[in-house]
Amino acid sequence: MNKRLLLWGCLAGLLCLSPAFIQAQVAPSFDLNRILRATVLVMQVRTTPTTSYITCVSSGTLVTRTGLILTNAHSTIPNPDCTGDTLLVALNVREGEAPVLSYQAEVIQADPGLDIALLRVSAEINGRAVINENIDLPFVELAEGSSLNLDDTITVVGYPGLSGEDAATALSATVQGFTGEPRGGERAWVKFRSVSDTLAEVPGVFSGGGAYNRDGLLVGIPTTAPLARQASATACARFQDTNLDGLVNASDLCVPLGGAINALRPSDFALPLIRSASLGIDVTLPTAQNQAFVASGLEPRVSNLFFAPSANNDMPTTVISSLPSGTSSLYLFFDYEFMTPETIYELRVTIDGSTSAIFSLPPVRWSGGERGLWYIGLTGQSLPNGEYNFQLLVNGVSAGEAPPLQVGGGPEPLPTFRNIQFVLREGEQIFGNGYILGVGPIVDAQFIYDNMTTGLEWTAIWYFGNQEIARASEAWSLGSNGAQSTSVSDPAGLLPGRYRLALYIEGRLSSLADFTIAGSRADARPRVFTNERFVVASDINEALTARASTSVTNPPPSIFTLFDWEQIAPGTLWQLRLMVDNEVFFDQVTSWSQGENGSGFTVQIGSDTAIPDGTYEMELLMNNILLRSTTISVGIGQLPIDPFAEPEGVQLRGVLIDGDTGLGIPNATIFILSEAFSVIDFIYNANQLYSLTTTDRDGRFQFSRPLRFTVPYSVIISVDGYLPINADGVVVDEETPNPLDIIIYMTKG
């Protein structure tokens, strides 16, 4: 009788999965449990012949079920601050408990400047290799972080520290503003403030974790890059006897933890890396590797700090020393030299002597080139009145301060130059305008002037690199408002390279703009890159002589894209962008490292087997201006399915219990059949399975692969010594609690 009751109990348990039951449940749309489970702790470890110790830690987020982890580059790629050689991943196995070291990982894609790295689980913690396709880990999906708005509520998730009880933690926060940079535009950083009762500040170990919007989609990566070299006692942790002297003291390695985080790197920057990894594509630049640009090795520095109210094509519109009340945009411009992707810089802003966390930028990696003009723009937030002081720190050391800026009062009608534009001219013929010009004899600079008065002394200074090449100074004789131009010329043609025009009024810098001369003059755009093409070849040598292709039917293991170039000065910033079906999977801005003229710059797009079908496109840019592009169609010319889409659904988990003893049944296998099959169709063929799992020593089980909404599944539980339990038509929908916990009683038979 008891057994019969238990059997009915089991059936009732399975019935709980039916739509009628499930619809009665109210589920949260924001799946915090899944987010927490997808949040991992990444440890960089250094292994010596006698011991292993942790060198750096950060949070990370699983973004695919096969074990791709999105995190920071500074804590994973070996560098002077993080000298480890192995990456270990700790999973959030139990809610509210410390993470458990489970896997080794390797870096498969990274952008050190953007401080983004994509890791892949490569082995179990004991070193046993894993087959990624067989892994079924909880993961989150991404949304564009640039879609965030001011005052949006977000949830920031990561690990607060390294002590034993530090479990994955979620903190509520609000978007406070945005910080712009030339690389990334106005929303290169999203600034936020914690409004959580748990932690008033987001700890440094959260760096590399995730920030989620209301739909539970990953929109940003909380980021800071602590400096181990200069970490204070509170910003690092000593918990290992790294020198093996039997003591844990000041002479042991201090693992940098970093200070409070108030900035997110929007997830948009990570999408190309994830696409590339998901497609199994590897991009290499053999030509660049042969003659890599050699960093100077000099100490990075910044200079010439000034403010502008806005930026146009990454150039300041004008130079200001005050702003009226109600302003919501401010740009700090400065020159930089000898910077590398490993350089860490920080902006500290004080308003009337008080530090402003909203406007300050925590220590972050450098995402620009080696030298040039850079800006940090505060946008999307109203600037309170007061005196602003901006201080820049490079590698933890004060590197420059801008003159104080006053915000408040009404607009002051100061004499001003603004909006410098450049034009390449030969005689009366115009060959191009903008900030990238071809080689030619004359460059005109056109600018707008306001509030000028007769007799004011104004000066135009032209620079080539850092060297002054021309100067003109005279008393103002035109009207108060209008447009004016000045020019620089060289009958032999201006040399390729970076130029600058600085305009002064009465010795005060009023406007400034850079432009690049590269390539030969043509119509609207200079001819910098030519003969761009895709080819199909087995290696780089064959690629150099292969005929250009616009389509290939059978996807090869590699395709190459090549181009020639004219008159590019070494060190000039250029951008290479690769796309498949209009989705960017490679985007790199770097300094030109080849000679001024040449041919056969080669880019290899490769895969272990065959590159996926699709339409591939290469774009070549300078100063954000598209100069050339070319395409090739591979296979059917489009990705066969959306490989970036991941199914959403409900995670099923629970416990399998012996009805007589009440104890969990260990090591039992539970099957979920694909929707095409019912229980009666099952012939024990793995092709019929949607997923299967095995219970652990307590009888607990979980299916990592989520049940898709409104799809009818069949469940089979068959264990030696127990009556089998089978059910058809198991359906979940958006209203089903997620994860769905069930208890299943088995009857001995």
Q: Under the criterion CB under 8 A, does residue 698 sit at the interface with another protein?
A: yes
Query: Residue 286: CB partners within 8 Å, gap ≥ 6?
Result: 540, 602, 604
Site for another protein (CB under 8 A): which residue of 668, 725, 727, 732? Answer: 668
Name which of 584 and 610 has its Cβ closer to another protein.
610
Nearest distance, CB of residue 650 and another protein, angstroms: 16
**Residue type at position 472:** A
Q: How many angstroms separate the CA atoms of 472 and 464, rounded? A: 15
Name which of 460 and 665 has its Cβ closer to another protein.
665
Nearest distance, CB of residue 26 and another protein, angstroms: 26
Nearest distance, CB of residue 670 and another protein, angstroms: 9
Q: How many angstroms separate the CA atoms of 146 and 221, rounded? A: 12
Q: Which of residues 112-131 bind another protein (CB under 8 A)?
A: 124, 126-130
Task: Kindly indicate which of the ranges 111-119, 286-294, 394-402, 667-675 contains the residues binding another protein, using the contact rule CB under 8 A.
Answer: 667-675
221 DSSP β-pair partners: 265
Q: How open is the CA angle 395-400-406, to the nearest 5 degrees?
A: 130
Q: How many angstroms separate the CA atoms of 603 and 529, rounded? A: 14
Nearest to 717 by CA among 654, 650, 661, 675: 654
Contacts by residues 452-455 (CB-CB < 8 Å, ≥ 24 positions apart): 452/415, 452/476, 452/478, 452/479, 452/480, 452/481, 452/505, 453/415, 453/480
Nearest distance, CB of residue 57 and another protein, angstroms: 19
Site for another protein (CB under 8 A): which residue of 55, 76, 103, 317? Answer: 103
Q: How many angstroms separate the CA atoms of 740 and 668, rounded? A: 19
Q: How many angstroms separate the CA atoms of 471 and 489, rounded? A: 12
CB-based burial label for 641 (10 Å; 0-12, 13-18, 19+) = exposed
Task: Kindly indicate which of the ranges 99-107, 167-175, 215-223, 272-280 contains the residues binding another protein, using the contact rule CB under 8 A.
Answer: 99-107
Nearest distance, CB of residue 739 and another protein, angstroms: 11
Q: Under the criterion CB under 8 A, does residue 433 sit at the interface with another protein?
A: no
Q: Which of residues 699-738 bind another protein (CB under 8 A)?
A: 700-702, 704, 718-720
Q: Under the criterion CB under 8 A, does residue 597 sit at the interface with another protein?
A: no
404 within 8 A of 350, measured Cβ to Cβ: no
Q: Under the criterion CB under 8 A, does residue 98 sit at the interface with another protein?
A: no
Q: How many angstroms separate the CA atoms of 560 and 603, rounded? A: 6
Nearest distance, CB of residue 303 and another protein, angstroms: 51
Q: Under the criterion CB under 8 A, does residue 135 sit at the interface with another protein?
A: yes
User: What sign has the CA pseudo-torsion 115, 119, 124, 127?
Assistant: negative
Site for another protein (CB under 8 A): which residue of 666, 691, 708, 723? Answer: 666
Name which of 354 and 687 has its Cβ closer to another protein.
687
What three-state secondary structure class fits 406? strand
81 within 8 A of 247, measured Cβ to Cβ: no
Nearest distance, CB of residue 85 and another protein, angstroms: 19
Site for another protein (CB under 8 A): which residue of 358, 442, 625, 692? Answer: 692
Q: How many angstroms separate the CA atoms of 633 and 315, rounded? A: 37
Question: What is the DSSP secondary structure assignment for residue 293, as one 8-state letter?
Answer: P
Site for another protein (CB under 8 A): which residue of 317, 343, 421, 693? Answer: 693
Q: Under the criterion CB under 8 A, does residue 661 sit at the interface with another protein?
A: no
Nearest distance, CB of residue 723 and another protein, angstroms: 12
**Residue type at position 597:** N
Name which of 10 and 330 has its Cβ closer to another protein.
10
CB atoms within 10 A of CB 10: 22
Q: Under the criterion CB under 8 A, does residue 136 sit at the interface with another protein?
A: yes
Site for another protein (CB under 8 A): which residue of 669, 681, 710, 712? Answer: 669
Task: Kindly indicate which of the ranges 46-54, 467-475, 632-640, 697-705 contains the residues binding another protein, using the contact rule CB under 8 A.
Answer: 697-705
350 within 8 A of 360, measured Cβ to Cβ: no
Name which of 633 and 691 has its Cβ closer to another protein.
691
Pairing of strands 625-634, 551-552: parallel
CB atoms within 10 A of CB 730: 21
Site for another protein (CB under 8 A): which residue of 15, 93, 200, 244? Answer: 93
Q: How many angstroms separate the CA atoms of 36 and 747, rounded? A: 35
Nearest distance, CB of residue 663 and another protein, angstroms: 13
Nearest distance, CB of residue 17 and another protein, angstroms: 21
Site for another protein (CB under 8 A): which residue of 560, 671, 713, 745? Answer: 671
CB atoms within 10 A of CB 184: 17
Name which of 561 and 693 has its Cβ closer to another protein.
693
CB atoms within 10 A of CB 702: 18
Q: Under the criterion CB under 8 A, does residue 676 sit at the interface with another protein?
A: no
Name which of 115 and 658 has its Cβ closer to another protein.
658
Name which of 55 and 64 has its Cβ closer to another protein.
64
Nearest distance, CB of residue 203 and another protein, angstroms: 25
Q: Which two tokens stand for residue 520?
A: 């030969």
Q: Under the criterion CB under 8 A, does residue 667 sit at the interface with another protein?
A: yes
429 DSSP β-pair partners: 426
DSSP one-letter string for 89-105: EEE--STTS--EEEEEE
Binding-residue pattern over the window 17 to 56 for another protein, x denoting contact by CB under 8 A: --------------------x-------------------
Q: Under the criterion CB under 8 A, does residue 134 sit at the interface with another protein?
A: yes
Nearest distance, CB of residue 274 and another protein, angstroms: 22
Q: Which two tokens stand for residue 735?
A: 């209203």
Backbone angles phi, psi at 63, to 5 degrees: -115, -5
Q: Under the criterion CB under 8 A, does residue 691 sit at the interface with another protein?
A: no
Query: Residue 473: CB partners within 8 Å, gap ≥ 6?
Result: 457, 458, 459, 460
Q: Which of residues 196-225 bind another protein (CB under 8 A)?
A: none
Number of residues that bind another protein (CB under 8 A): 40
- Interface with another protein (CB under 8 A): 37, 91, 93, 100, 102-103, 124, 126-130, 134-136, 665-669, 671, 683-687, 692-698, 700-702, 704, 718-720
